[in-house]
Amino acid sequence: MGLSELSPKFFKIEVEDGVGIVKLNRPPANAHNLEMLRELDNIIVESRFDDNVKVIVITSNTPRFFSAGFDINEIKDKSPEYIGLSSQYSKEVMLRMMSTRKLIIASINGHCMGGGLELAMACDIRFIANDDNIKLGMPEVSNLALIPGEGGTQFLARIVGRSKAIYLMTTGKTLTPKEAYELGLVERLVEPEKLYTETMDFARKVASGPAKAVGFAKLAVNEGLDIPLYTAFALEREMQNQALASEDAKEGARAFFEKRKPVFRGK
- Known catalytic residue at 191: no
Separation of alpha carbons 150 and 120, rounded Å? 11
- Known catalytic residue at 118: yes
Given the residues 5, 35, 46, 118, select the one marked as catalytic: 118
Q: Which of 32, 29, 114, 24 is nearest to 64 (CA)?
A: 29
Given the residues 5, 16, 74, 140, select the one marked as catalytic: 140
SS (H, E, C) 216-237: HHHHHHHHHCCCCHHHHHHHHH
Separation of alpha carbons 123 and 57, rounded Å? 9
Mode of pairing for the β-strands spanning 11-16 and 19-24:
antiparallel
Mode of pairing for the β-strands spanning 65-67 and 11-16:
unpaired
Separation of alpha carbons 250 and 113, rounded Å? 44
Q: Which of 232, 241, 236, 265 is nearest to 251 (CA)?
A: 265
Phi, psi of 131, rounded to the nearest 5 degrees: -135, 115
Is there a contact between 186 and 180 (Cβ–Cβ < 8 Å)? Answer: yes
Is there a contact between 188 and 200 (Cβ–Cβ < 8 Å)? Answer: no
Q: Active-site positions?
A: 118, 140
